[in-house]
Chains A and B, each alone.
Chain A
Amino acid sequence: MQLRDNIESPCGLRYVFEQLELQAGYTRRWMLDMPMMRTGDEIVRSYEVLRQFVRFVEETDIPYINTLQFRLQGLKDIRTTIRNLEQKAVLDDIELFEVKHLSILAVDVAERMKTHGMDEAIAVPDLNEVITILDPDGLKMATFYVYDSYCRELQDLRSQMRQHPEQQENLMAECEEIEEGVRRDLCKKLYPFAKALEEAQVALAKIDMNLAKAIQMKQLGLCFPTISKDDISRYEAMFHPQVQDALAQRKREFQPVSMTFGHKPTLITGANMGGKTVVLKTLTLCQYLFQYGFGIPAKNADIAVKDEIYFCIGDEQSIEKGLSSFAAEMKNIDAVIKASRRGGNILALIDEPARTTNPKEGTALVSALVKVLEVENVSLVMTTHYDIETNDSRRLRVKGFENGAMNYELVEVKDGEVPHEALNIAESLGIDNEWIEKARGILIMSNSTQLNISNSICLDLKWSNTTTLGKEKGGKA
């Protein structure tokens, strides 16, 4: 899985990626091609490098950083040229220019990194020899042509050309032949450096990326995570940068949420508009950011490494694929189940499964799903409105309305408890009063009916789920 495969995930990964101040278009492409890290060691190493860059950014004057960034804007994608060099082709002037340009940039950036003790964070191969080959006059300028000093004969021909423009056509042909010979010799000297050039290009992209990530950590208030040793992920005060930003524009604040999950399936219930989906989005985002080595939007995070990440959210572009929302959802969840059977450590985040079907079958589907995914290699976090029975799952609930305001905090609850705040919330939204009151009436009716009739009949009623809700509300009261 490359970053480009996950970038459009509805969790908002693209938003965080686009916030990076990358200097070179090449870095962007290189990052999108990055495979997702799947081992703790890899992730630890990448954070060690990033940590050094954060320190570098903190301890260095802003103008110095700006100059370094400006220099990195000169990083170009010359993979085709390097490939030609690897295949021992003779490069033309434009390609030789690119090689020289990259080498000068690499040497310059490497020196800048060295003066700040950053040369060990990311090693840039030494390309001074390449510069020497392509800069026979020692001008240290990032320009190129087949210099006069490569060949005495060439020099003579060119001065003749200047003196006798009328002979230019003939002289030009002679020059071109000599130039081609010079280029052939130059390339022979350059072939051994193909690998170093490629490494230098990647090293510069890594520097660009780490600088951008380090700056982003400060800008967005991200933290360095630790690697979970027990396959349980723990987040303290996590937030979603994109949602936070959207709220800030409406002069509202994001309430950070803390949460732990891992071995047992975790079910999140809670009122509508209680931020359940945002919790799942944030968890997915954090997991991706973690496995691609970004800072994590939380105060503290201890995260378990996963092989595969699945985020199933109801309203995907099912219409584009010509599927009904139910069919699209079922297929997505089916993929999770199939993956769980293949083995591998999976994180599955499922948002209100089967919500578009009837409550009776929906409840059955969701209960069964929890049972199917109650396996060792799956960490499941799921949101639902259904009352489902499970043997061994954790239940969290969004606290919900408190003193007229929504509290998005997650609290642990006992089995089977589903909040009944839909009507209150609808009312607070200023929804038509007649509608709400009628619904309330039906709830009370079914409540009293239920006291008189047996459970089996109740289940056959059209409003079975509402009835159950009513019972509980009644029970609580």
Chain B
Amino acid sequence: MTFIDDILNYDSLSIVGLQKNTGKTVSLNYVLDRLPVESKRIAVTSIGIDGETTDQVTRTKKPEIYLRQGMYFGTSEMHYRKRRLVSELIDVSDENTSLGRVVTAKALTGGKILLSGPSSSSGLKRWMKDMHRVGLDLVIIDGALSRMSLASPAVSQSMILATGAAYSTNMNTLVQQTAYVVELIKIPLTEEANLKLLMPIEKGVWYVDDEGALHELSNISALSQEFRFEGMDRCKTLYVAGALVDGFLEKVRKNPKLKTCELVVRDFTKIFVSQQQYKMFLKAGGMIRVLQKSKLIAVTVNPTSPLGVTLDSDTLCGRLSEAIQLPVYDLMKKECN
């Protein structure tokens, strides 16, 4: 498998599941098992609770996360106490989660752990920065999309997306929906000037005029039906700091004044727009950009749904790969391991 080498080109990686039971933990273990721990210093954490021995929602058995000797990990106090390996504590942070503070440790033997971690994007960024400061080469984040996680996996430089029959047992839908998410992940970054200007803004709707001046548009959120665009004849860039939803995108599309302007969102996890609405926006000549973007390294699939339906692995990988123009791996298959 070649994508392991690819990972080493980046200082951070998030592994994101499109849905529970899409094989995210398998992908994480797969990566952890193959990274060169002798030559690279690697740390792993999670946003949201993970590494439960049984899935908290579906009560199905879940694989545990297996760390190799020498790897660093960030987890909550409660999960640290349940570790099944020998490890040396290197930090107890002030970062609080529902399972206690986030602690960081180094594995002195291989073994299984329960992973949880910072519960906000800023907390996650701080932890990643701390890890890089003490000389770690690669930080891996066990990410979440379907869960109610406030931290965005898009803070990482690279990404692996896990999808599978748990997301949909209809192969057409699965391929189509996964391709749509991949399309969103691939949305390019906005221009440098916008990055500097917009990055610090964490809420509201703003626009940049043709002279580069920033204006806050309204106190009404982009979620609201009441939203009106007024006095923005010279709008060049329209920035939505929070969630981008159908109603708002439709209004942008139908507004002749905004025909040529660039729409910017924080990262792809903030786009909650139906595929149809998104396609219509692009078709009408709309342009969308992000402030944070991860390089998608690979897509992994789990062809088995928790309800027992299994899709044909080769067909699924082939069709998905064709749709997204990226290699797709079924890590459950024996020959991969």
Binding site for B on A (CB under 8 A): 25, 76, 92-94, 97-98, 101, 142-145, 158, 161-162, 165, 168-169, 172, 175
Contact = CB atoms under 8 A, between A and B. Distances in A.
Contacts of A144: 88-89
B94 A94 contact: no
A158 B108 CA distance: 9
B109 A161 contact: yes
Given A25-B94, A143-B88, A143-B89, A94 B108 contact: no
B103 A94 contact: yes
A143 B88 CA distance: 7
Interface stretch (B78-86, B185-193, B262-270): B78-86
A14 B293 CA distance: 41
A145 B105 CA distance: 9
Interface string B222-266: 000000000000000000000000000000000000000000000
A172 B108 contact: no
Contacts of B89: 93-94, 97, 143-145
Nearest to A141: B90
A106 to B, nearest CB: 16
Contacts of B50: none
SS of B interface (majority): strand
A145 B87 contact: yes
Nearest to A145: B88
Given A25-B94, A97-B89, A145 B84 contact: no
B58 to A, nearest CB: 26
Nearest to B88: A145
B109 A98 contact: no
Contacts of A92: 81
Given A98-B92, A143-B88, A144-B88, 12 more contacts: A25-B94, A76-B94, A93-B89, A142-B90, A145-B88, A145-B105, A158-B108, A161-B109, A165-B110, A168-B84, A169-B84, A172-B84
A460 B13 CA distance: 84
Contacts of A165: 110
B69 interface: yes
A204 to B, nearest CB: 16
A172 to B, nearest CB: 6
B204 interface: no
A94 B110 contact: no
B92 A162 contact: no
B92 A76 contact: yes
B94 A162 contact: no
B264 to A, nearest CB: 33
B77 interface: yes
Given A94-B77, A158-B109, A162-B109, A175 B92 contact: no
B92 A145 contact: no
Contact of A168 (B87, B90, B111): B111
A144 B104 CA distance: 11
B223 to A, nearest CB: 31
B81 A158 contact: no
Ranked nearest first, the 4 interchain pairs of A and B with the lowest CB-CB distance are A145-B88, A97-B89, A143-B90, A144-B89
Contacts of A93: 80, 89
Contacts of A76: 92, 94
22 contacts: A76-B92, A92-B81, A93-B80, A93-B89, A94-B77, A94-B80, A94-B92, A101-B92, A143-B88, A143-B106, A144-B88, A144-B89, A145-B108, A158-B108, A161-B86, A162-B110, A168-B84, A168-B109, A168-B110, A168-B111, A172-B84, A172-B111
Contacts of A172: 84-85, 111
A142 B84 CA distance: 23
Contacts of B109: 158, 161-162, 168
Contacts of B86: 145, 158, 161, 175
A9 B122 CA distance: 33
A170 B77 CA distance: 24
Contacts of B85: 168, 172
Nearest to B105: A145
A419 to B, nearest CB: 45
Contacts of A145: 86-89, 105, 108
B203 to A, nearest CB: 24
A144 B108 CA distance: 12
Contacts of B92: 76, 94, 97-98, 101
Interface in B52-99: 69, 77, 80-81, 84-90, 92, 94
Contacts of B111: 168, 172
Nearest to B94: A25
A144 B109 CA distance: 15
Nearest to A26: B94
A93 B106 CA distance: 13
Contacts of A161: 86, 109
Contacts of B69: 162
A175 B80 CA distance: 16
Interface in B153-195: none
A240 B48 CA distance: 47
B289 to A, nearest CB: 37
Nearest to A96: B89
A326 to B, nearest CB: 36
A364 B109 CA distance: 83
B101 to A, nearest CB: 8
Interface in B98-130: 103, 105-106, 108-111
A142 B105 CA distance: 12
A158 B69 CA distance: 12
A177 to B, nearest CB: 14
Interface centre among B69, B77, B88 (most CB of A within 10 A): B88
Contacts of B103: 94
B38 to A, nearest CB: 14
B63 to A, nearest CB: 16
A175 B108 CA distance: 13
A313 to B, nearest CB: 32
A144 B92 CA distance: 11
